[in-house]
Structure 1
Amino acid sequence: MELETHLSKYFTLAFTHKSMGLEMREKLAINSSATLKEFLQTIKNHCPNIKECMVLSTCNRFEIYASLKHGAHANEQKSALLKILAQNKKMSVSDLEKCVLMSVDESAVHHVFSVCSSLDSLVVGETQITGQMKNAYKFAFEEKFCSKDLTRLLHFAFKCAAKVRNLTGISKQGVSISSVAVKEALNIFEKERIKDKKALVIGLGEMAQLVIKHLLNKQFEALILGRNEAKFEDFIKELEEPKKVSFQNIENLNAYINEYQLLFCATSSPHFIVQNDMLKETIFRRFWFDLAVPRNIEKPVLDNIFLYSVDDLEPMVRENVENRQESRTKAYEIVGLATMEFYQWIQSLEVEPLIKDLRELARISAQKELQKALKKRYVPKEYESNIEKILHNAFNTFLHHPTIALKKNAQKEESDVLVGAIKNLFNLDKSSANHAQNLNLYKCEYYEE
């Protein structure tokens, strides 16, 4: 009989800004909870060899993180997922195949840690990705699409990301897509000698809020168009200069769209918010930044409107990447170490319950034989307590060397095979409550960094 290995088989599929253009990323993007739940349920229904699954969908990446059942082949899961994606998103499998990066086991863990630590981001060191991963994990966990395996993985990923930030200073400049966009807008205003520093911001989600904060830091005033005024009132409590920000319902978009030279748009809408039939000729040039995926702004037909998408900001990011090369090198060292430590930790989680199970099995066996001896009057009842102590010392002595060896081997790659062999030999797979994994023990604190 083949021994089952007890380490989880981790698996990732990634479509990112490095491998796929904005137009294709738009098709993959999932921007609503209902759509995400439906997609995860489709995977659960059609991929029986996937134990747990979550999806990370941002403006720069669409990624699937999963743990596979024992014996599952990664390439088969990849093919199944690409078919689901192709059908779900009305794309061809061949187009997806050209752009996807698959990672398995240690490579998958390393990839997740790198993404969470913002080393794979368009803007290296931006902190928004960690929050996005926490939200993606939280959703999958609460909807019961992921459990022990991905909880352990993400728990360690968040620890790794915090360590990278603290030890490298890679995030100190607070660079993000939103800050790069605002910086470029400021450069444009200086070149164009525009003195009226006012901006129109459509949306009030995380990206839009970051844009507003960066605008205020650069002494801009902002009008926000959104749907939820109560959310706006809560948001401005965080601002140092709330009087520089005002709010109008997005239904009034037509009244403002032609009044501002600077526009930022970042909503979760799957459709165009700003359309050409809203536009009027103006005597001034306009500069628009569409930070949403899918895009929120239809390509303008007017010549004096200059539109920047997420991908258009990439050249402006390169300088940031070059400046942070030393920090990146150190960060990758931390991620590599964290990947090794993760597997050591996982292996130790298998070993500790096994040691408890072995000791409990020895105690039960010794107690059972003692009770037999007492019942048959092989030993007097008054000796029971002393005999229990002798037996306890005996099985402790007997298990001392195996316990030391198991703890020592927990640091080695073959420990999962050793654990599996011992569990099979002693029939421990279902024998003890200690073996049942208590998820709370490894609960991922997704609200903390």
Structure 2
Amino acid sequence: MSYLVISFSHKNIDIKMREKLAFNGEEDKDRYLRQILENEHTKEAVVLSTCNRVEIVTRSSNVKNSAKNIIEKLSAYSGLDFDTLYDRADIYDNDGAVHHLFSVASALDSLVIGETQIVGQLKDAFRFSQAKGHCSTNITRVMHYAFKCAANVRNATSLGTGSVSVASTAVAKAKEIIGNTKGVKALVIGAGEMSELTIKHLISSGFDVVLTSRDIKKAQNLASTFLEESAKAQEVKVDVKPYSELTNLLAQIPVMITATSAPYPIITKENAPSSLINRYWFDIAVPRDIDENISLSGLEVFTVDDLQDIVNENMSLRAEQAKMAYSIVSRMSMEFFEWLKSLEIEPVVKNLYLKGETIIDKKVKNAIKKGYIRAEEEENIRKLCQTVITEYLHNPSKQLKDISKNMECDLVVSTVQNMFALNKESNIPKKYKCDHLTKN
């Protein structure tokens, strides 16, 4: 069985394809996971779907067959051509899959290197799959190490500081265009996690925020959290407006950032107003919130792909830190496989001792039955035999544990199991606790 990751991101497909691949509802994601797990070669699966990527993380006994099936089902879901998807897909197997997953979790594969949202999104994807019964021991193990790796990168580097998200990049671009932001209004559409992050960056950049959402109560709750935090700073302003006023707000406010989870454009040619002022709209949602065919005088529309210039500058500033982070990812990828091998060794060593105990029990009972030893001597004889077995197996056990770090581990373990007729089934519990799951 190998780890397998199928990856679609800003690196290999454009935003039009990404928005068709995106899973915006839990029912769609659950249905897709169940479909790919019907394949006899695919065991356990997690789907990570964000504005910039779709990652399918699985275990497979036949990588080629699983990859083909996963992409076929993705083609059926998205309506995109299978051959196009297959040609564009980045397919990672085993050590490559683990290295890629660790890089994704550590935000080294993101559009904005070091962005802080990805590890939380990966944890949510894992929790969802775990809750639905789509993954168990082996995926849990690799996720455990992925989150551990992300934490190590975050603690050892400064990649998690500064402007490191699509939301913050959009705000940075808006500030660059506007210049002096004092008294300048910025409209935020949506009241989810991305909108919350956007508001935070807009406030820190000096904008006055206007918030609107179809869910007006959710918008009011979100605005109130910022007002409470900034009660002492009277100049900070977050106004909530009814969604019915959207067209007027779009006409009057120079900066707009939209980040809803709507499955279709919420701003179209029908409701996009003309205006006498210059306006700058940032669409950081996937699928896009703004119809790509809108063209109005004095209006510039930016999507996540249009923010690449700031991203490139961000990458050059973070190059040295990223180099350090990649070394952590590489080291922890190797550590992960060493750890997996050690898990394979422990049951073998345990079974060697259990085999010895079984033989002692059989021989002692037989000796008592035939009168070779007295029944009252049984306990002492057993202790003597156990001492012999422990001393005899000490060096072989130690060498087996050392072999777990070598490439020959699988061959040696299999040979030992065959020689001693040991049970090859792992004694590792089915449920494996992930220590890093609750830490964002």
Alignment of 1:149-164 (within 5 A): 149-164=138-153
Query: Does structure 1 conserve the Cα–Cα contact (< 8 Å) formed by 2:210 and 2:239?
Result: yes
Give me the whole-angstrom Cα distance separating, in 1, the residues matched to 2:107 and 2:95. Answer: 18
Give 1:291's match in structure 2, choosing from 284, 290, 294: 284
Query: 3-state DSSP class of the match of 1:277?
Result: coil
Give the corresponding residue for 2:391.
397
Give me the whole-angstrom Cα distance separating, in 1, the residues matched to 2:182 and 2:49. Answer: 38
Q: Supply the AA of the counterpart residue of 1:443.
A: C
- Verify: 1:104 aligned to 2:98, yes or no: no
- Verify: 1:134 aligned to 2:123, yes or no: yes
Give 1:304's match in structure 2, choosing from 290, 295, 298: 298
Query: Does structure 2 conserve the Cα–Cα contact (< 8 Å) formed by 1:160 and 1:338?
Result: yes
**Cα 1:447–1:228 shift into 2, 3 Å:** farther
Give 1:344's match in structure 2, choosing from 338, 344, 369: 338
Backbone CA RMSD of aligned residues: 2.0
Query: Does structure 2 conserve the Cα–Cα contact (< 8 Å) formed by 1:189 and 1:195?
Result: no
Give me the whole-angstrom Cα distance separating, in 1, the residues matched to 2:220 and 2:384. Answer: 71
Query: Does structure 2 conserve the Cα–Cα contact (< 8 Å) formed by 1:229 and 1:247?
Result: no
Total equivalences in the alignment: 433
Query: 3-state DSSP class of the match of 2:373?
Result: coil
- State the 1:33 CA deviation: 0.7
- Deviations 1:74-100, CA, capped at 9 Å, x for gaps: 222222222212122111112112311
- Verify: 1:267 aligned to 2:256, yes or no: no
- Deviations 1:393-427, CA, capped at 9 Å, x for gaps: 11112211210111110111221232233334444
Give the corresponding residue for 1:320.
314
Query: Does structure 2 conserve the Cα–Cα contact (< 8 Å) formed by 1:154 and 1:444?
Result: no
Q: Supply the AA of the counterpart residue of 1:98.
A: D
Query: Does structure 2 conserve the Cα–Cα contact (< 8 Å) formed by 1:151 and 1:444?
Result: no
- Deviations 1:2-21, CA, capped at 9 Å, x for gaps: xxxxxx41111111111111
**Cα 1:149–1:337 shift into 2, 3 Å:** same
- State the 1:372 CA deviation: 2.3
Q: Runs of 5+ in structure 1 lacking a partner? A: 1-7
Query: Does structure 1 conserve the Cα–Cα contact (< 8 Å) formed by 2:181 and 2:206?
Result: no
Give 1:229's match in structure 2, choosing from 213, 217, 236: 217
Query: Does structure 1 conserve the Cα–Cα contact (< 8 Å) formed by 2:223 and 2:238?
Result: no
Query: Does structure 1 conserve the Cα–Cα contact (< 8 Å) formed by 2:140 and 2:432?
Result: no
**Cα 1:251–1:365 shift into 2, 3 Å:** farther
- Verify: 1:181 aligned to 2:170, yes or no: yes
Give 2:41's match in structure 1, choosing from 45, 49, 59: 49
Q: Supply the AA of the counterpart residue of 1:173.
A: G
Q: Percent identity?
A: 35
TM-score (norm 2): 0.93
Q: Supply the AA of the counterpart residue of 1:294.
A: P
Query: 3-state DSSP class of the match of 2:201?
Result: helix
Deviates more, 1:352-361 or 1:134-143: 352-361
Give the corresponding residue for 2:364.
370
**Cα 1:38–1:396 shift into 2, 3 Å:** same
- State the 1:258 CA deviation: 2.3
Give the corresponding residue for 2:246.
253
Give me the whole-angstrom Cα distance separating, in 2, the residues matched to 1:414 and 1:249. Answer: 66
Give 1:215's match in structure 2, choosing from 187, 198, 202: 202
- State the 1:245 CA deviation: 1.8
Which structure would you say has the larger RCO, counting Cα contacts within 8 Å and 6 or more residues apart? 1
- State the 1:264 CA deviation: 0.7
- Deviations 1:52-90, CA, capped at 9 Å, x for gaps: 111111111111111113xx2x22222222221212211
**Cα 1:252–1:35 shift into 2, 3 Å:** farther
- State the 1:365 CA deviation: 2.0
Give the corresponding residue for 1:445.
436
